[in-house]
Structure formats: C-alpha cells, structure tokens
Structure 1
C-alpha cells in the first residue's frame, strides 16, 4: 500500500515508455532502415555519432532548462512526450516522404531530443521526491528501473511478435507506443508538482565533486558493453548463430531477466552494499561475454542461457548505478537537472560509440545485413565485436569500481 500511496507505479509506467524509446530503437532502427530502404550501415553509424556530438551541447542545455522550469513543468513534459510519440510514429509508421536517410535523421533527432528532455526531468524529479533518504533512492530505483526494463523488454519483442499478425509490425508497434505514452503521461501528471525550491546548480560544481565525476566515468565505461551488444544483437543471432526467427524470444529472455532481477539486486545491495553487489554482477557479465566467444551456428540454447545470465547482470547496472548517482546529486545538486543532463549524455554516448565504430567495422569486413553467404572474416569480426569488446570493457569497469570509494 505504501508504494501506491507514494505513486511509485506511475514512475514505473513513465520509465517504461522512456526506456522503450531508447535501447530498442538502437536495436531495431539501423537494421530496419538497412533492410527496408537499403541505407548503408556506415552512413547510419556516422549519422548516429554526429547526433551524439550534438548532444554534447543539447543535454547539458536541457538540464539547465529543467532546473529553471519552476511552473508549468507538467505541460512542458507533456509536450516532450508528444514529440517523443510523434517521432516514433514518423520513424516506423510512415513511409519516408523524402530520402530515407534524411527522414531517419529528422525523426531520430526528434526522438532522442525528447528522450533526453524527459529522462533528465524524470530522474531529477526522483531526487526531489526522495530527498536525503538514502534507502528511498534504492526503493524508487527498484520501481523505476523495473518499469524501465519491462518497457525495454516489451518494446524489444513487440515488433517480432507482431510479424505474424500484421504486414507492417513496426507501424502497429509505433501506434501502440503512442497510446501507452498518452496513458503514462496522464498518470504521471500530478508528480510534476512540488519540486524542491533550491538554487539551480552548475555543471562545474558537479564535475568538481570527485565521487560524482567518478560515477559518471564508471557509467560511461560500464554502459558501453550493453550498447555494443544491443547494437549487434540482431546481426549476431541472424548471421553468427544462424537462428533467424529466434530474435524475439531471445530478446524477451534477456530483458525479462534484467527486469526480474532488478528487485533482487536491490535487496542484495541492502545486505552487502551497492559496490560489492555491482562487482558481483560485473564478474558474471564477463563470464557470460567470454563464453559467447565460443558459440556458432546451432548454439541457440546455449545462447539463451547466456541471455538470461547477462540480462540479470544488466538489472544490477541499471538499478544501482542511477540510484548511487541520484543519491550523490541529492547532496551536490538537489535540483538534479544538470546532473542528469550529464548522465543522459553519458548514456547516449555509449550507444553512439557502438553505432559509429562497430557498424563501419562490420561493413568493411564484408558484412551485409541479411546476407546468407558472408565471408569468414565478417563472421569473425562480428563475434569479436559482439563478445570480446564488451568483455574487455567490463574488465575496465570492474577496475574503476574497485578503485572508487563509494562510502565517501
């Protein structure tokens, strides 16, 4: 009853629609435009990287704006939700009225600009709601990130499930997204009132705080493996495992494991501490990525087990790290807007790295989306990028976390 009283389910639902517009779009959009409209993977990767350079200016600016929206915040957030829904429908629900490359550029820019604005305000609102209650940040994070992971799970599998029911599954998915976004926005409306009346913070203050700076660096390194594996997931299943048609069920296993594990990691962290909990999850992730290097055609079952294990480790990453950062921001930057502007930038930059570096490398190695006669060099490159690169990055993240004194 306490959760209902605190309206925590509203945070779960709103987190679901924001997250559904994030990671799943990086999973599906490049492949969809490459397969459907023949847009080059290199061109798409370059475009996504350029957009992330734009975020270097945009996200801190949106954080600055967020901290100064004293009145009418619910209206501005609702307008952001409208832009998010309209961009999603334009991306998947409308045949490009202009060059597919430029239509992709326009709609993806609107989508991720709205994504940034909503994410910054949403996480900053969580700081205002909880305040200095350390355990409250973990509790809110458990509800918020479980909703977010369920949103990712549903968005990741919906287009695949809809393929048997309709000739245009992505358009139907986009329509459904618009409807759920409207519902989530209405349900969350009362929460935008009563923000903490504190002075706006400055990026310099946040970056000068040692722990905040270390958490941002840790988030950058630790999130990159997920960005890499998400960008290449469909290609790996289709071309390396030869398991076309398994994409949907495997995505469900991955993200459902992440969603179901989030409350468990939260409970464990209360017993042994957030740092030790995260280190445990990271070691499990390294083992999962390492075993994936040995997989090939016909290893769908083994990969399904890996999806469950690696998905569970993501539940720890996405629940505990934002809660740690929010707890620190409650002391360094109580408004939260500038801090989560930086957090949003870091999160999206990892996806940009994956798109800008990995897709051109794959294409240069002879990889072609949907091709059945790929050279061995292309398949080897796909395996190395999908499994070995995340493994090495995760080892770096473990070293960084081990050297960070969270108790400070």
Structure 2
C-alpha cells in the first residue's frame, strides 16, 4: 500500500493547547470525511453476503440441509454477539497505546476478514459434515475480524469528539459510505458472481483501511490503571439511550425481516423487489446530509424523534396497500428510507455525547460500542424471534393468498413496528428529552 504515515500519540500530560489542537483535528472537510468514512463501505458491503447470501449459497450450491445450516448460523451469530463487549475492551487498550497500533491491528484484521470471506464461499472440502465444520470455523473467524474492525471504526469516530453537529457529521460520513456499500452488495453477487464479489470486497477493504490511516486521529487520554472500572452500564445516560435504541431497533428490524414476504404476497409485486430495495437504501443515503442539517437547527434528539414519526406515518400508509399498489409502496420505501437515514446517523452521535459527559472520551469508546453492537445484533435476533413465530401462529405461510394470512402479515409488517416505534418515541421524549440531568437534546 505504499509508505504509511507516522501516527504519533499525544502524551497524556500534553498541555491544554495540544489538547485543543487534537480536538480541532476534525474540521469537516470533504477530504477528512472521505478518509474516515471510506471504511464504512466495505464493512457494510460484506455484511449483506454474510447474513443474506451465505445460507442460500450453501443450500443451493452444496446441498447442505437447511436445519443443520440454520443451527450452525445461529450458534455462530450468538458467539459473534457475545464477543463484541470483549472486543470493545481490547480496542480501548489499543487506543490507549497509540492510534498507529490500532491502525496496524486493523490492517491485520482486514487481511483475516478478506481471506475468511473468500474461503467461506469457496470451501476446499466436500461432504455435509466437512462443509458444516468449515462453515462454522470460518464464520467465527470472519465474524470476529468483522466485529473488531466495526468497533474500531465506530470508536475512532466517537473519539474525534466535538459538538452535536460535528459528531453527526462524522457519523454521516461513515453511514453514508455504508449505505453505498449495501447498494453495491445487493447487486454485485447476482450480476457478477461470488468470485468477483470477493475480489471487489478485498480491494475496497484495502482502500478503506489505507484511507483510515490518513484520517484525523482520535484524541488520546491517560491510560486507565484498571479499565474494568469503566462500565458503560453504570452510566445512566447510556442505559436510557440503549433502551430507546433497542425499542427503535426491533421496530426497524421486523419489517426488514418480513419485507420480501410483504412484497411477494401482499403486493404480489415480486418483479419490483430490486427497485423497492434500491429506492429504500438510496433514499436513506440521500437523506443523511439533510438529517445533519436538521441537527444543526433542531438538535440530535428532536431530529431523531422526527425520523421515528416519519417511519410510523409510512408504515401506517403501507397497511392500507394491497395487490398492485406498486407506486404507492415505492413512496413508502422512499419515506421509510429517509427515516432510516436518521436511525443510522443520530443515535451513534448521541452515544458519543454520552461518552463525553461521562468523562470517558478517549478512554472507553470501544467498551461502549462493543455493547452497542451487541444490542444491534440482539435486535436482529429478537425481530426474527418475534415476527416469524407470531406469523405462523396467526396462520400465515409464504405464498398464501388467504385473507386471514395476509391480514396477519400486514399486522406484523406494518402495525407491530408502528407500536414499537411509538414506544421508542415515547421513551426518547420521556427518558431523554425531558430528563433533567443534563442529557443532550
């Protein structure tokens, strides 16, 4: 990759002027946004094949039974979620040493991730037992390296500090690139095949890591003698924010789990699936700068509340749709995509503010984002665990045209998320915006 830049660490005893220079490291210039945010593209790019394409690939290409494959995937994903808090602690220790060490470890993790991803889709073994063992082992490797890079990238951005607008801008660059990565990953495997996809991912990951080495460096802080003294769960603002995030996340994950069923059976518009998905993610990407501007005028929490209410309005409208309502559902996708832009951009910026006010900036961002990522993965698991069994109990089966089954699908896809979104909005207003302990609005 060429010569790498020196990344000197500011000493813990640096004068206040040096601290001020470090704090001013992020100016919001496009070059800085590109250098920090670029890694978000390959990290989002790889998630879609790992979580969506891989199960069908092993079932269709190698004939692996779905029940056994499902058990392997469930075990690997649970292990992945449980690793995140520990990964966060390790990331904090690396940041305490120097940003350069963080970056070098990131390079190593990137190599492991690229190799593991390719090996997953092109296993050198045959037979069901060998394929399952290979899949389980390589999933643990890829999930670990992916989580390590994700937590590192999030903590790096949070440690740049700044006010609400600056933090929202940092997250916007990361999540904007991530949305582009999702769009590319939704098309490339089916168009070019997994060989090209694996190669493209390796190249994009190398570029993203190279760019991160040239990004503004996080502010350093004194090394904690006992890092275990910092426990995010002891911070009241973190507990409240995580509760809101969980409610909102489950509300968003349920329709993500059921969207293809709704398009195919309720709308009977399977041919438009790529258009709907592309419109949803494109609207989210285009909305990110608008949400950043909204933060500058209204604040983080009020802007996020507006995004929640927009999502509720979109899904209430979706509940009225039926067979052939393609244009109307396209507008639903656009509106809910705009709301997704708020969900992606604003909660991590609020979390960075929690870390600042707790006095843990530059010390424990990894610990906070480790638990944050654990909650994100828990949302996905809870969404599937809630929605799919409820649908089955209510009489819905994929491909049905039965009125009762379709009504159950509409209830689960449209109205249950609205209830949860409204609960999240109420928690945001009552536990955050009206709270009197100095939380950021």
Q: Distance in 2 between matches of 1:178 and 1:150?
A: 16
Instruction: Report SS of the residue matched to 2:231.
Output: helix
Deviates more, 1:47-56 or 1:210-219: 47-56
Instruction: Report SS of the residue matched to 2:38.
Output: helix
Other-structure match for 2:91? 66
Segments of structure 2 that go 5 or more residues without pairing to the other structure are: 1-25
Instruction: Report SS of the residue matched to 2:327.
Output: helix
Shift in Å at residue 68 of structure 1? 1.1
Q: Distance in 1 between matches of 2:64 and 2:300?
A: 43
Q: 1:94 to 1:45 in 2, by over 3 A?
A: closer
Other-structure match for 2:292? 266
Q: 1:98 to 1:331 in 2, by over 3 A?
A: farther
Other-structure match for 1:388? 415
Larger RCO, structures 1/2 (Cα 8 Å, 6+ apart): 1
Instruction: Report SS of the residue matched to 1:246.
Output: helix
Deviation sequence 1:105-150 (CA, Å, 0-9, x none): 444433332222112111111133x234443212212222212222
Deviation sequence 1:6-64 (CA, Å, 0-9, x none): 62202221111222233564444455556666667776666555444424531111011
CA contact under 8 A between 2:157 and 2:218: conserved in structure 1? no
Segments of structure 1 that go 5 or more residues without pairing to the other structure are: none
Other-structure match for 1:275? 301
Q: Distance in 1 between matches of 2:187 and 2:354?
A: 35
Deviates more, 1:263-272 or 1:133-142: 133-142
Other-structure match for 1:218? 244
Instruction: Report SS of the residue matched to 1:298.
Output: coil
Shift in Å at residue 74 of structure 1? 1.6
Other-structure match for 1:21? 46
Q: Distance in 2 between matches of 1:234 and 1:96?
A: 33
Shift in Å at residue 250 of structure 1? 1.4
1:87 maps to which of 116, 137, 150: 116
Q: Residues 368-387 of structure 1 correspond to what in structure 2 (within 5 A)? A: 379-387=406-414
Deviates more, 1:60-69 or 1:96-105: 96-105
CA contact under 8 A between 1:366 and 1:374: conserved in structure 2? no
1:178 maps to which of 175, 195, 202: 202
Other-structure match for 1:227? 253
Instruction: Report SS of the residue matched to 2:432.
Output: coil
2:170 maps to which of 122, 140, 149: 140
Instruction: Say if 2:322 is the partner of 1:296.
Output: yes
Normalised to the residue count of structure 1, the TM-score between the two structures is 0.85
Q: 1:73 to 1:250 in 2, by over 3 A?
A: same
CA contact under 8 A between 1:45 and 1:357: conserved in structure 2? no
Q: 1:96 to 1:222 in 2, by over 3 A?
A: farther
Shift in Å at residue 345 of structure 1? 0.6
Number of aligned positions between the proteins: 398
Deviates more, 1:265-274 or 1:193-202: 193-202
Q: Residues 181-220 of structure 1 correspond to what in structure 2 (within 5 A)? A: 181-191=205-215, 196-200=220-224, 201-202=227-228, 205-220=231-246
Shift in Å at residue 81 of structure 1? 1.7
Q: Distance in 2 between matches of 1:115 and 1:215?
A: 25
Is the radius of gyration larger for structure 1 or structure 2?
A: 2
Other-structure match for 2:17? none
CA contact under 8 A between 1:45 and 1:360: conserved in structure 2? no
Instruction: Say if 2:124 is the partner of 1:124.
Output: no
Other-structure match for 1:9? 34
Deviation sequence 1:152-207 (CA, Å, 0-9, x none): 222234335x1xxx5xx344323322221122122212449665133344476321
1:327 maps to which of 353, 356, 367: 353
Q: Distance in 2 between matches of 1:223 and 1:382?
A: 20
CA contact under 8 A between 2:42 and 2:201: conserved in structure 1? yes
Deviates more, 1:289-298 or 1:25-34: 25-34
Normalised to the residue count of structure 2, the TM-score between the two structures is 0.79
Shift in Å at residue 361 of structure 1? 5.3
Instruction: Report SS of the residue matched to 2:431.
Output: coil
Q: 1:362 to 1:49 in 2, by over 3 A?
A: farther
Other-structure match for 1:355? 384
Q: Distance in 1 between matches of 2:103 and 2:214?
A: 8
Shift in Å at residue 212 of structure 1? 1.3
Shift in Å at residue 375 of structure 1? 5.7
Q: Distance in 2 between matches of 1:107 and 1:354?
A: 25
